[in-house]
Chains A and B, each alone.
Chain A
Amino acid sequence: QQQVKQSPQSLIVQKGGISIINCAYENTAFDYFPWYQQFPGKGPALLIAIRPDVSEKKEGRFTISFNKSAKQFSLHIMDSQPGDSATYFCAASMDHKGGKLIFGQGTELSVKP
């Protein structure tokens, strides 16, 4: 019930293409869904986040789509660039649990020039 499942494990996209990473959760008590980007040797950095009462949120080339009934959400990276090559983690948290993050397993994205 505490799990967040993420797919795919790895993804290769051509420069200019769209990268799509999917996540699914079971616990309907989750009320906040952030995405983190992590480069090798670095800590995760918050990219974009969404609440379940919103179906879509866009920030620049990054968009989260949220399907509350299906308990799924996804990250879309438009016009993918080589500099986007990193590991991406979806996560979920609950306000009343102090905000601890439950992470997905991660997706290693490689954008080819």
Chain B
Amino acid sequence: NAGVMQNPRHLVRRRGQEARLRCSPMKGHSHVYWYRQLPEEGLKFMVYLQKENIIDESGMPKERFSAEFPKEGPSILRIQQVVRGDSAAYFCASSRRQGAEQPQHFGDGTRLSIL
């Protein structure tokens, strides 16, 4: 009955480095959503993936950000050449099926700090 697992919980990177955030959905869940929470702000949708497919990436910045959800293994959110403005908490959520009424279960997030 493990919930959504995100790692690492905290990640520190220097400007220009790459950040790789991992999300293992709940067992039986094949839909993954990534959200970003900036300090003192609400959560902003970034991307929605189903196994091996990106369904909706309308919230992803056009450059430096990418996401994948391979057939085997966790979903990965990758940020290349990080900048100070990327400092935020990144949350992953998973659901069993697609649809508004399908509950999204959130992980405890990865706190990314850029030096």
CA distance A34 to B95 in the complex (A): 14
Q: Is the CB of A46 within 8 A of B45?
A: no
Determine whether the beta carbon of B106 is less than 8 Å from that of A44. Answer: yes
Which residues of chain B are near A36, meaning CB under 8 Å? 106
**Cα–Cα distance between A103 and B35 once the two chains are bound (Å):** 10
Q: Which of B4, B35, B42, B99 contacts A99 (CB 8 A)?
A: B99
Residues in B with CB closer than 8 Å to A44 are: 43, 91, 106
Q: Are A89 and B4 in contact (CB under 8 A)?
A: no
CB within 8 Å of A: which of B87-115?
91, 93, 95, 98-109
Does A60 sit at the interface, judged by CB under 8 A? no
Chain A residue nearest to B59 (CB atoms) is: A100
A65-93 Cβ-contact flags toward B at 8 Å (1 or 0): 00000000000000000000000010001
Number of A-B contacts (CB under 8 A): 71
Within 8 A of B (CB), among A98-112: 98-106
Q: Kindly identify which residue among A43, A49, A101 contacts B45, using a CB–CB cutoff of 8 Å.
A: A101
Contacts A98-B56, A101-B33 given; does A93 touch B100 at CB 8 Å:
yes
Does A32 belong to the interface (CB within 8 Å)?
yes
The verdict on A31 contacting B41 (CB below 8 Å), with A43-B107, A43-B109 known, is no
Q: Once the chains are docked, how many angstroms separate the CA of A18 from the CA of B103? A: 26
By a CB distance below 8 angstroms, the chain B residues around A99 are 31, 33, 48, 95, 98-102, 104
**In contact, B33 and A95 (Cβ under 8 angstroms):** no
Instruction: Please indicate the chain B residues that have their CB under 8 angstroms from the CB of A61 in the complex.
Output: none
Q: Report if B44 contacts A (CB, 8 A).
A: yes
Q: Is the CB of A98 within 8 A of B48?
A: yes
Assess the A43–B33 pair: CB atoms within 8 A.
Answer: no
How far does the Cβ of A101 sit from chain B's closest Cβ, in whole Å?
6
Q: Are A103 and B43 in contact (CB under 8 A)?
A: yes
Question: Given A93-B100, A101-B33, A102-B45, A43–B55 Cβ distance below 8 Å?
Answer: no
Query: Chain A interface (Cβ within 8 Å of chain B)?
Result: 6, 31-32, 34, 36, 41-46, 49, 51, 89, 93-95, 97-106
Q: Which 4 A-B pairs have the closest CB atoms?
A: A43-B106, A32-B100, A103-B42, A93-B100
